[in-house]
Amino acid sequence: MFTETAPRAADETGVRSPREGGPPTAAALLLPLVGRIPAMAAPCRMHPAVERIELSLAGWAREVGLEPPEGARFERMAGRAFAGFGVDAALLFAKWLTWLFHFDDEWDEKPAGHATEIVEATFARLGRLAGAVPPRTAGGTPVEVAFQDLWRLTAGRMSTHWRERFARGLREQGAACRTEAENRRTGRVPSVGEYPALRRGTAGPYLFDLVEPCLGVEVPPALRESPTWRTLVDACNDVTAWCNDVASYPKERAHGDVHNYVTVAADTFGFADADAVAWVNDRIAERAGDLRAAAIRLPEMFDRFGIPAAQARDLSKVACAFLAAPRAQLEWLLESSRYGMT
């Protein structure tokens, strides 16, 4: 049901020097993983309508008032992860990525990320907006306007159970962002033991649930809450979040933000930067193994839950999107303007 390409040497994978002719990027520090992680070995296909998706995404961002950084190329990450699916699937995910990264920058790079009361109030407003389908029309910040539009496009396709799951993920992100704000206020560096769960929260747990409405598939509640599917989702979250940390640690260090796995490892173990990056890369490789093992167990899980063959094929498409995510993200990290060295 699931296939993967055998690992190949880094110079045989289609990954070349990052942004040829442009500034160096810390994402290149992830390249040793290409030969270690099967999910990162084979180059991704690009969605054949990526240029059309790019134009539509830019128009939507202008309409709702978001200003993605020039060269961010969120449509290309979505175009890789959803290369084999329709334009609507890739475009909807690209819109959510644009919103999430814009929202994330509110906490990482601005004073709001140090104020717990602002974090709490912001997430409370989003929680209220997510409580209606479609949400009530109202004014608000560009983040809120964009969220309302995306929620209108997304929530109506899904069951009450899925919407409750999304709201739970939003609350988890709010709690994690509040913890980060408190850490910034007090100057506390998270421990290496607590950081993975904290990072999983700030990444937006609902991001991985959004694969389902993009593909028009809903994971049955019992399967979604099984250890195997939870491992699939959480491992994909961890791998992509920690890869993002390696790519972004110079930028975040320049902003004085300690919420980065590389920084946490350096602080905990007294590592130099190169050793901290190598340590995080080892953790990424281990977690990618958990992702692969969970995917291999899925056919057995489908049988155990009595899932019909047609539904199992649809659910496998969701799982395949998770398996594609590490390589899709790697290629995007190398080409995006967000991660130039500082």
* SS3 of 75-135: HHHHHHHCCCCCHHHHHHHHHHHHHHHHHHHHHHCCHHHHCHHHHHHHHHHHHHHCCCCCC
Q: Give the confidence band of 17 by pLDDT, cuts at 50, 70, 90.
A: very low
Q: Give the confidence band of 165 by pLDDT, cuts at 50, 70, 90.
A: very high
> With 70 as the cut, is the pLDDT of residue 24 above it?
no
Q: Rounded to an integer, what distance in angstroms lies between the CA atom of residue 116 and that of residue 118? A: 5
Mean pLDDT of 179-193: 93
Mean pLDDT of 221-244: 97
**Domain coordinates in residue numbering, the chain:** 1-16+24-42+219-342, 44-193
Q: Give the confidence band of 323 by pLDDT, cuts at 50, 70, 90.
A: very high
Q: Tokens at residue 88, please?
A: 């609507």
Q: Is 1-16+24-42+219-342's fold the same as 44-193's?
A: yes
pLDDT at 308: 98
CATH fold of 44-193 reads Farnesyl Diphosphate Synthase (1.10.600)
Q: Give the confidence band of 11 by pLDDT, cuts at 50, 70, 90.
A: very low
> With 80 as the cut, is the pLDDT of residue 8 above it?
no
Sequence-separated (6 or more) residues with CB below 8 Å from residue 65: 142, 145, 146
Q: What's the chain's average pLDDT?
A: 89
Q: Rounded to an integer, what distance in angstroms lies between the CA atom of residue 330 and that of residue 195? A: 22
The amino acid sitting at 261 is Y
Q: What is the dihedral of CA 271, 273, 274, 280, to 10 degrees?
A: 80
H-assigned helices in the chain? 50-64, 74-81, 87-108, 116-129, 142-155, 160-186, 195-202, 206-209, 211-215, 221-224, 227-254, 261-269, 273-304, 309-335
> With 50 as the cut, is the pLDDT of residue 321 above it?
yes
Q: What are the pLDDT digits (tens) for 88-140?
A: 999 999 999 999 998 887 766 666 656 788 899 999 999 999 886 665 556 68
Q: Tokens at residue 337, please?
A: 């303007």
Contact 38, 6 (CB under 8 A): yes
The amino acid sitting at 322 is F
Q: What are the residues facing 340 on neighbouring strands?
A: 25
Distances (CA, A) of 218 to 1, 138, 300, 316: 19, 29, 19, 11
Contact 327, 46 (CB under 8 A): no
Asked which of 133-137, 214-218, 280-284 is least confident by mean pLDDT, the reply is 133-137
> With 80 as the cut, is the pLDDT of residue 12 above it?
no
Asked which of 3-7, 245-249, 314-318 is least confident by mean pLDDT, the reply is 3-7
Q: Give the confidence band of 177 by pLDDT, cuts at 50, 70, 90.
A: very high
> With 50 as the cut, is the pLDDT of residue 10 above it?
no
More confident residue, 27 or 111: 27
Mean pLDDT of 281-285: 98
- Of all residues in the chain, what percent carry a pLDDT higher than 70? 87
Mean pLDDT of 227-246: 97
Q: Is 10 exposed, middle or buried (0-12, 13-18, 19+ CB in 10 A)?
A: middle
Task: Count CB-CB contacts under 10 A for residue 39.
Answer: 24
Q: Give the confidence band of 72 by pLDDT, cuts at 50, 70, 90.
A: confident
Q: What are the pLDDT digits (tens) for 302-319?
A: 999 999 999 999 999 999
More confident residue, 261 or 257: 261
pLDDT at 195: 98
Asked which of 32-36, 185-189, 302-306 is least confident by mean pLDDT, the reply is 185-189
pLDDT at 80: 96
What CATH number should be reported for the domain whose range is 1-16+24-42+219-342?
1.10.600.10
Mean pLDDT of 14-34: 69
